[in-house]
Chains A and B, each alone.
Chain A
Amino acid sequence: MKKVFSRPKSLKNTAFHYCGGCGHSIAHRLIAESIDELDIQDRIIGVPPAGCAVIAYNYFDIDMLESPHGRGCAVATGIKRVLPDRVVFSYQGDGDLAAIGTAETFHAANRGENITVIFINNAVYGMTGGQMAPTTLLGQVSTTTPPGRSALLDGHPVHFSEILGQLPGTMYVERCAVNTPANVMKAKKAVKKAFQYQMDNVGFSLIEILSQCPTNWKMSPVEACRWVNEVMMKEYPLGIIKDSKR
């Protein structure tokens, strides 16, 4: 019998700890499939963040170095400069990347570091229990914006991918989602392309993935997927923000 579906080689045989309906497990799988297809499992190094994905090294069967909160791009810079022929990526959430790690992310992009950043945007701080993230939508309820995020008091949702798209050092930025099979396929293509760009020495790339967080959004997984479509994408439209090779 022909095997048509199996666990990617780059994932360990470990069940994900992520909540039901969470986008992280899908994103992990897309990364692992891309690694397999590009045949780089032996020479890729990942940098997981502080956040829900903090123990990503339990799942990926690749070399990984944990980063302090927000510093993924600085840590990845250090690795990549020492080992330029390895493929290096950081995996970061919205709080990690767009709040505490703003400077590190921005300047790694501005230096045009030849690394890949996977940016998981679920509009909340997941691991710490659903506080406001820089990407939380206006009016969205979080544990630290109980009446809903107010522009006046809490500021606006940050469009970090668009900001990075403005930098000459950035080579490829795309926003994807993992809420429908079609979007998952597109996201996979984007992740793989970003790795390929790095292997071709093109430069800095970032893939933002709108990711559902049913637990902290207090929704069922199906509702959460729908919310990504109907609400989140209005604020954060999908598509290529910058592609220097196109």
Chain B
Amino acid sequence: MQGNRVIGEAAIRAGCRFYAGYPITPQNELTEYMADNMRRAKGGTFIQAESEIAAINMVLGAAAAGARAMTSSSSPGISLKQEGISSLAADELPAVIVNIMRGGPGLGNILPSQGDYFQATRGGGHGDYRTIVLAPASVQELADLTMDAFDLADRYRNPVLILADGMMGQMMEPVEFSDPSSRQYPECYILKGKGKGKSKFIRGLILDAIRMEEHNWKLYRKYQVITQKEVRFETFWTDDAEILIVAYGTAARIAKGAIKRSREMGIPVGLIRPITLWPFPMEVIRSFAERVENFLVFEMNTGQMVEDVQLALGGIGKVQFYGRPGGVIPTPAELAKVIAYQARKK
């Protein structure tokens, strides 16, 4: 199945019952899949919104009203959604936002890119908040992580971002869907009319500085818990590695190919693949630094995650960077050459 459609199917299986989106390449198949299938799901709503801004705000309303809700877009559209994502974080509402990244800045192009790492991992919109960021590297993982995204969003009452790129979205690979877990979301957070009880309001506006500060610290504590509990990563051929590549998503796939080639040439190289970009696997990377000196960060941008790797290492070890921005997809052979060069230099 195609990546974009897989996200849609996984979302519906996970109980997503509200989707609003706006056309933008290369994620249109997801919107179309939802148009086709969401109405089939019992109580499901699909809306083609008038803009990305409207779509995310519809999601805000739907999430508050108790639905598992999702929207999707690609880079320029995700910029537009930031206002709503910030509101979701402030209001502590669960939602899943999919970014099928393309080349930027500005309109850029429609080719696969990883230029939105900073935007995704630093909250993206205004204010002091974070979103959980999941970075799938295969179509199978698109399915699994989409399902997980809804659970994580509920568990922490926080927006969760799926950060993939045009290649992940367009590519077809075999996929198997796992059984979704049943939803655990406390009724007390759902807005549905006061009934016989006390009236509720959900809001991000807190004019009093001390109370706003309190809210900020409350969110911060939640983010600390997420940082401790939800880090995910994969390691590949790291046991005897003397050079470690750090890459995620499409870049990580390419890195695996390059590592196989390099190993054939006798270069001991391995991979750390962050699956959660926020929370970032800081400690894992730091722990590797105890025995590996050379790190090579590989991204399809001009260097964004490399800053997190440097932060993780805190000055220990050598961090090199290789990147191809703008929608260029480097080949495993190309990266293998970079690895060989690093191996000679060291």
- Measured CB to CB, the residues of A under 8 A from B are 41-45, 47, 50, 54-55, 57, 60-68, 71, 74-83, 86-87, 103-104, 106-107, 111
A76 and chain B: residue at smallest CB distance = B61
Q: Would you call B112 an interface residue if the criterion is a C-beta within 8 Å of the partner chain's C-beta atoms? A: no
Q: Which of B203-229 contact A (CB under 8 A)?
A: 203-205, 207
Q: 1/0 contact trace for B44-76 toward A, CB 8 Å?
A: 010101110111011111111111010000000
User: Known contacts A62-B193, A63-B200, A66-B202; is A82 also within 8 Å of B50 by CB?
Assistant: no
Q: List 30 A-B contacts (CB under 8 A).
A: A43-B195, A50-B205, A60-B199, A61-B194, A61-B199, A62-B194, A63-B193, A63-B199, A63-B201, A64-B201, A66-B203, A68-B84, A71-B84, A74-B55, A74-B58, A74-B60, A75-B58, A76-B61, A78-B18, A78-B59, A78-B65, A79-B61, A79-B65, A82-B18, A82-B45, A82-B67, A87-B193, A104-B57, A107-B54, A111-B47
Q: Is the CB of A75 within 8 A of B61?
A: yes
The residue in B61, B67, B201 that gathers the most chain A C-beta atoms within 10 A of its C-beta is B61
Q: Would you call B17 an interface residue if the criterion is a C-beta within 8 Å of the partner chain's C-beta atoms? A: yes
How many angstroms from the CA of A71 to the CA of B54 in the assembled complex? 7
Residues of B within 8 A of A42 (CB): 193-196
Residues of B within 8 A of A76 (CB): 61
B23 to chain A, nearest CB (A): 15
Known: A42-B196, A60-B199. 5 other contacts (CB 8 A): A63-B192, A68-B83, A74-B60, A83-B193, A104-B51
Q: Would you call B91 an interface residue if the criterion is a C-beta within 8 Å of the partner chain's C-beta atoms? A: yes
Per DSSP, chain B at the interface is mixed
The residue in B62, B65, B207 that gathers the most chain A C-beta atoms within 10 A of its C-beta is B65
How many of B's residues come within 8 Å of A, CB to CB?
A: 41
Q: Is the CB of A81 within 8 A of B45?
A: yes
Residues of A within 8 A of B45 (CB): 81-82
Q: Is the CB of B191 within 8 A of A79?
A: yes
Residues of B within 8 A of A87 (CB): 193
Q: Is the CB of B193 within 8 A of A44?
A: yes
How many angstroms from the CA of A134 to the CA of B98 in the assembled complex? 35
A105 to chain B, nearest CB (A): 10
User: Known contacts A82-B67, A83-B65, A107-B50; is A65 also within 8 Å of B57 by CB?
Assistant: no
Q: Is the CB of A79 within 8 A of B195?
A: no
A186 to chain B, nearest CB (A): 28
Q: Which 7 A-B pairs have the closest CB atoms?
A: A78-B61, A57-B201, A66-B203, A43-B193, A74-B57, A78-B62, A71-B57
B45 to chain A, nearest CB (A): 4
How many angstroms from the CA of A75 to the CA of B84 in the assembled complex? 10
A69 and chain B: residue at smallest CB distance = B83
Q: Is the CB of A66 within 8 A of B204?
A: yes
User: Known contacts A45-B191, A68-B87, A71-B84; is A82 also within 8 Å of B65 by CB?
Assistant: yes
B86 and chain A: residue at smallest CB distance = A68
Q: Would you call B20 an interface residue if the criterion is a C-beta within 8 Å of the partner chain's C-beta atoms? A: yes
Residues of A within 8 A of B54 (CB): 71, 74, 103-104, 107
Q: Is the CB of A86 within 8 A of B193?
A: yes
Q: Is the CB of B58 within 8 A of A77?
A: yes
User: Known contacts A55-B205, A62-B199; is A75 also within 8 Å of B18 by CB?
Assistant: no
Q: Is the CB of B191 within 8 A of A75?
A: no
Q: Is the CB of A74 within 8 A of B201?
A: no
How many angstroms from the CA of A66 to the CA of B91 in the assembled complex? 9
B150 to chain A, nearest CB (A): 15
